[in-house]
Structure 1
């Protein structure tokens, strides 16, 4: 049974959600990870054992504990154990290079690191404290399994403040060195509860978890399962689309946010088996661009599709928009979640009226505490009483938000502003185009010009002249691409976000002129 000191308030946290499920739903599955199946009672007992072990090892509230793990029951157990004793989990991205991991470790200074053996080489340059290897095969004789299945004498339990940090998730560093986004356990729990309310989740929900938990999309959905008493079914690190589809059916998964690289190939893999498609909820992202590509999920699978917009700094999705509304408002990011308030600010922090363009700003209980050891960046983001997202957008009189693009990605050509999303949306209407994205490139006459990168569908042809003709009448002339480069694929992050900075670094040649 989990230990709650008498002096400890029953505050809102991830630990609150876990203890509630362990009390009310002790025998219900909390996590399915390969051959390991844990009930909420099991998970709570493991978290308690690890929390006591950490205290015995000298870990105190505020100490950082790094995780370099694949998703699954061990990741969840370490995260929740950190929350139970007030340690701060540092969520390391195993897609980074050793030098990048070393910089984050130097910034966070973890006292201990839980690492999967397959990632140990990534720590070669890092000072990451005591190392605990976690075998992803759940070896019963492995160090981690022995720790979480033992019984420990009750330690002297620390008193913990309600707004204590739970994790640090480092941003992608699109504007320089990555920043450690510090999130309170109460913020993560608020986000999870808002997610559940908006999606109508119940304890019968079974999440197909394929988004990495070091990323906020994956974290928010697993947290939502703790909030509703549902089950997180973790796909294997090496599973391909076919294996993940098999897992979806085998485990009767009802909800997922499988990014397009995984879910779209399912169309050709008999996704409905014996007349059944268990999936009833599918969450997409803000950059969906062309909602018609999700039509088969709604029509053929009878699953409810939503899109949305969010950030690491607000614990995930801050808005949602249902599929019918996507069709009616194809550029909208939707309405705010129940726990979030949204507005548009001018550069001085004043709220703008409907229809005016400015910076999207958010506030509510899921907003970050700040950036780790970066007071200047924290003040810039939070100094006006709102989280200033760095994203440009508008809101209409009905409260619908519209994303125009990142402020730092805004293209200024001849004194005019061009939002990349506007240009991308025109390409989204072209049937020959599989993918497209634009960025600003230096231009001697106009300061900057629009350059587009286009991926054609197999067997399709489209010339630069034809593309230019398609743009006429769609958007203003100064917004049309001045250069067009045909490529095989666009650089995107694991959840499909276009990496425009990489595009703008590519050379421009006269033969690309449109």
Structure 2
């Protein structure tokens, strides 16, 4: 089992974790990416080759290198090479539009951009510096393979501070332009070690990596394999759910964070084959009720379901909750990981007692350094000595946290507060409903009113009147949806988080009145 080193947490980084794996587990698999299977020794060599090539090209500590890549060994190699020489990797979301990519690149000003050819069009409006094409699915004669496998003369590596920046992930920009969240290599390593320690990961762990590495959930899981010496098995970006399930079985993957959008369809795809389901750990969400898929995974697959809560600003999951505790406290996000402390603050930064509602705040070695070139936002998030999450919640006497919702998504109707998660939880218990979410919409009388968006299961029917009747007696009258719109799907981000801001922008019509 993994244990956190006795050294000060800022004395290590992903580079020291890689060096440890290369020494202790040299001939064990570090990564499986399509046809490519890399040992830890081979990954270490490739990282060192690329790091020296970057130095030879004049890349210096603090320079930014943008990564617009699919998940896999080139992404991992490039990220680790940046860490070795002190460059800052700018992790670009290939789901964005060219104009959005151009704004981020203009803000980060990278000296170089590594790009997969399939995403080259996204750079049409960007000044991306020197552009390095990265081969699609490991062409053995491609330019990136040549860089990674060519040994250049070894020079002296820069003398780097332990808490040097490693990467920037840009936030989703729900309240304006996205912010570049700057994370130290030591913070990413602390998060990885805390994650691996809590999960009891051994070097025999095999991660089915399905979350994009430009997102903190995917990054934290792969970093946890660096912490324990396990294997990252990367699903292809073109793989459908059936192909991902086949990969899970073929590679004997033991852990994943395949959110319900992936795992739910597996129920109908013979998930247990020849009496075997290799998956023993499954990470999902928390604090939003108890999805039926979690019960299925626990009972039918005999896998351990763990929910969690976290943020980009703290390198991923900060809390975890096991399935039995989810049943006991369906709205809870659980307890913090070993390296994190949580509290609830009022607007002035004062600590609130158990049960009081306020802003969830986190502290620990995995908290971000700040936002790139945005001192005002950095001060607002970190100025009280805690990371102010922007999420409203409470804590009970046992130190267990409860998520009420984003402060900016709080619905204020007639002077009363409505937390969207409360309304969503009522819909989650309705057998006809496949998905649902609510938001605040303008209302002349009350300032705001609750509007719900409902996706019905195939073949199911449900009327607005029936929904309203079911809400009575379960939730206060002012919290009930005043408008209900039936839709085919809800907008969600890569890890399944509901994009309420998009729902709020949709028109309200009289026929939607409940």
TM-score w.r.t. the length of structure 2 is 0.97
1:285 aligns with 2:265: no
The aligned runs of 1:434-445 (5 Å cut-off) are: 434-445=434-445
1:299 aligns with 2:290: no
Query: Does structure 2 retain, via aligned residues, the 8 Å contact 1:291–1:330?
Result: no
Give secondary structure in 1 for the equivalent of 2:448: strand
1:448 alignment counterpart: 448
Q: Distance in 2 between matches of 1:288 and 1:85?
A: 42
Query: Does structure 2 retain, via aligned residues, the 8 Å contact 1:56–1:155?
Result: no
Cα shift at 1:139: 1.4
Cα shift at 1:459: 1.2
The aligned runs of 1:232-251 (5 Å cut-off) are: 232-251=232-251
Q: Distance in 1 between matches of 2:450 and 2:381?
A: 29
Q: Distance in 1 between matches of 2:328 and 2:404?
A: 17
Q: Give the alignment's Cα RMSD to 1 decimal.
A: 1.0
2:3 alignment counterpart: none
Structure 1: gaps spanning 5 or more residues: 1-8
Q: Distance in 2 between matches of 1:356 and 1:439?
A: 23
Residues 175-230 of structure 1: CA distance to partner in whole angstroms, max 9, x if unpaired? 11000000000000000000001111000000000000000000000000000000
The aligned runs of 1:111-122 (5 Å cut-off) are: 111-122=111-122
Q: Distance in 2 between matches of 1:225 and 1:97?
A: 31
Q: Distance in 2 between matches of 1:285 and 1:369?
A: 26
Q: Distance in 1 between matches of 2:372 and 2:286?
A: 27
1:68 aligns with 2:68: yes
1:3 alignment counterpart: none
The aligned runs of 1:490-505 (5 Å cut-off) are: 490-505=490-505
Query: Does structure 2 retain, via aligned residues, the 8 Å contact 1:167–1:184?
Result: yes
Give secondary structure in 1 for the equivalent of 2:351: coil
Query: Does structure 2 retain, via aligned residues, the 8 Å contact 1:168–1:183?
Result: yes
Query: Does structure 2 retain, via aligned residues, the 8 Å contact 1:288–1:307?
Result: no
Q: Distance in 2 between matches of 1:144 and 1:373?
A: 31
Cα shift at 1:11: 2.7
1:265 alignment counterpart: 265
Cα shift at 1:291: 3.6
1:414 aligns with 2:386: no
Cα shift at 1:285: 1.8
1:331 alignment counterpart: 331
Please identify runs of 4+ aligned residues in structure 1 that moved more than 6 A. none
Query: Does structure 1 retain, via aligned residues, the 8 Å contact 2:286–2:307?
Result: yes
Give secondary structure in 2 for the equivalent of 1:286: coil
Cα shift at 1:497: 0.4
Cα shift at 1:137: 2.1
Aligned length: 506
Give secondary structure in 2 for the equivalent of 1:120: helix
Cα shift at 1:289: 3.0
Q: Distance in 2 between matches of 1:287 and 1:242?
A: 28
Q: Distance in 2 between matches of 1:45 and 1:192?
A: 22
TM-score w.r.t. the length of structure 1 is 0.97
Q: Distance in 2 between matches of 1:293 and 1:87?
A: 41
Query: Does structure 1 retain, via aligned residues, the 8 Å contact 2:286–2:321?
Result: no
Residues 449-503 of structure 1: CA distance to partner in whole angstroms, max 9, x if unpaired? 0011111111111111111111111111111111111111111111110010011
Q: Distance in 2 between matches of 1:160 and 1:448?
A: 52
1:98 aligns with 2:128: no
Residues 327-364 of structure 1: CA distance to partner in whole angstroms, max 9, x if unpaired? 11000000111110000000000000000000000000
Cα shift at 1:288: 4.6
Cα shift at 1:10: 9.8
Query: Does structure 1 retain, via aligned residues, the 8 Å contact 2:282–2:306?
Result: yes
1:510 alignment counterpart: 510
2:376 alignment counterpart: 376
Give secondary structure in 1 for the equivalent of 2:102: helix
Give secondary structure in 2 for the equivalent of 1:141: coil
1:149 alignment counterpart: 149
1:348 alignment counterpart: 348
